[in-house]
């Protein structure tokens, strides 16, 4: 990035992203994800978020339905609504480790269904879909002729020897899959704002048109930084993955010791998603805790720890705790959370 600045690589680039980066991303998708893609199948955008929004705007007409699996990444339903389409929420449960019950899931499709959004590893649950789940999802997408937007931004943050499986690698359904990734999570480059989409040429053309009217190319400087991240040594990626796994183990062990907490162990991403419903109905300083918002406020006021209420992700029984922080901060935060929740018991 510093070289890019010093060489005055600071002007507009091609709207779709610089060819070198598009080619490097295509190569990454071929190598890591077994996708059959080339430069024309790649669009570089200002963050994975813009890639997802471009995808939704490209395929949805007003009144279309998009199936969103809860607990979901907060922005999916809102992006669908911004496209004047309708999110149809499918609830998964902690008891099933937030995996899909396909007998129920199959009933959700209507003649208005345009797409399914999936996110494995998941924010907020850490659930990783297995190959057989991807096969079933692909079968449904083919049967109902719908797109699959597969948000794979946490691909590299995966634990317990689980394997990341890209639905776009299933040949029969590949043209209906829009794969999203980016540099935010794998390289901790959240502020650089580089995301990318792999899709069939038509979707890329449509998304590119939308992007050209809204933002044009993502930052030229960030594109050069992303190219370096993707093509340079990948050693740090696995070092960080191992570090996140240690933090995951530590966070889960501490949380599960708290009386009243239950939790499905996250196999990827960097969030714990414990159920706090057993604390509903308790009170502190005359305030009743009725939901995930109240308990988040309680933890902010009494433990001075910021967690995200599960309602934001479509699950009121839970809170989301990030374990991306340093081991020291995690220790302090978890000690305070334990003390505060114990005071409610």
CB 31 within 8 A of CB 58: no
Tell me the closest approach of the beta carbon of residue 216 to ligand PLP, in angstroms.
17
Q: Which residues bind ligand PLP (CB under 6 A)?
A: 47-49, 73, 119, 123, 151, 153, 182, 184, 190, 195
Tokens 């409610």 locate to: 344
Residue 318: DSSP 8-state: B
Q: Are strands 65-70 and 42-45 parallel, antiparallel or unpaired?
A: unpaired
Is the CB of 67 or the CB of 289 nearer to ligand PLP?
Answer: 67
Nearer to ligand PLP, 148 or 289 (CB): 148
* Least Å from the CB of residue 77 to ligand PLP: 13
> Under 8 Å CB-to-CB from 331, ≥6 apart: which residues?
none
**Chain residue whose CB lies nearest ligand PLP:** 47
Euclidean distance between CA atoms 45 and 9, whole angstroms: 17
Query: For residues 142 and 189, which CB has a smaller minimum distance to ligand PLP in the complex?
Result: 189
- Residue 142 or 324 having the CB closest to ligand PLP: 324
The dihedral of CA 54, 49, 223, 34: what is its sign? negative
DSSP states along 233-282: --HHHHHHHHHHHHHHHHHHHHHHTSTT-B-PPP-BTTEE--B-GGGTT-
**Coil/strand/helix, residue 231:** helix
Question: Would you tell me how many other CB atoms lie within 10 Å of the CB of residue 252?
Answer: 18
Q: Is the CB of 77 or the CB of 279 nearer to ligand PLP?
A: 77
Q: How far is the CB of 137 from ligand PLP (least distance, A)?
A: 17
Q: How far is the CB of 72 from ligand PLP (least distance, A)?
A: 9
Q: How far is CA 224 from CA 10, 94, 184, 219, 269, in A?
A: 10, 41, 14, 9, 26
Q: How far is the CB of 191 from ligand PLP (least distance, A)?
A: 9
Q: Closer CB to ligand PLP, residue 34 or residue 75? A: 75
Minimum CB–partner distance for residue 50 and ligand PLP (Å): 7
> For residue 28, what are its two tokens?
């990454």
């Amino acid at each position: 990035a510093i070289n890019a600045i010093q060489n005055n690589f600071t002007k507009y680039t091609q709207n779709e992203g610089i060819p070198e980066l598009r080619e490097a991303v295509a190569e990454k998708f071929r190598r890591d994800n077994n996708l059959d893609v080339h430069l024309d199948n790649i669009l570089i955008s200002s963050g994975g978020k813009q890639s997802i929004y471009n995808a939704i705007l490209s395929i949805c007409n007003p009144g279309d339905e998009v199936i969103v699996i809860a607990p979901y990444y907060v922005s999916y339903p809102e992006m669908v609504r911004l496209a004047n389409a309708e999110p149809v929420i499918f609830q998964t449960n902690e008891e099933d480790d937030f995996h899909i019950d396909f007998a129920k899931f199959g009933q959700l499709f209507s003649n208005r269904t345009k797409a399914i959004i999936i996110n494995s590893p998941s924010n907020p649950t850490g659930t990783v879909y297995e190959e057989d789940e991807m096969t079933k999802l692909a079968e449904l997408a083919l049967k109902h002729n719908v797109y699959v937007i597969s948000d794979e931004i946490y691909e590299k943050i995966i634990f317990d020897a689980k394997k990341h499986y890209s639905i776009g690698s299933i040949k029969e359904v590949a043209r209906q899959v829009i794969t999203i990734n980016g540099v935010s999570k794998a390289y901790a480059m959240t502020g650089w704002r580089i995301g990318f989409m792999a899709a069939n040429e038509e979707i890329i053309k449509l998304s590119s048109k939308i992007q050209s009217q809204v933002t044009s190319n993502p930052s030229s400087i960030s594109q050069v930084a992303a190219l370096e991240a993707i093509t340079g040594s990948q050693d740090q990626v696995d070092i960080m993955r191992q570090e996140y796994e240690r933090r995951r183990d530590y966070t889960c062990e501490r949380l599960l010791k708290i009386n009243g907490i239950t939790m499905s162990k996250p196999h990827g991403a960097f969030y714990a998603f414990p159920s706090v419903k057993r604390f509903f109905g308790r009170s502190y300083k005359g305030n009743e805790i009725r939901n995930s918002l109240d308990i988040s406020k309680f933890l902010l006021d009494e433990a001075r720890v910021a967690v995200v209420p599960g309602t934001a992700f479509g699950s009121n029984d839970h809170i989301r705790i990030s374990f991306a922080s340093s081991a020291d901060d995690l220790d302090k935060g978890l000690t305070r959370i334990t003390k505060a929740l114990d005071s409610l018991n």
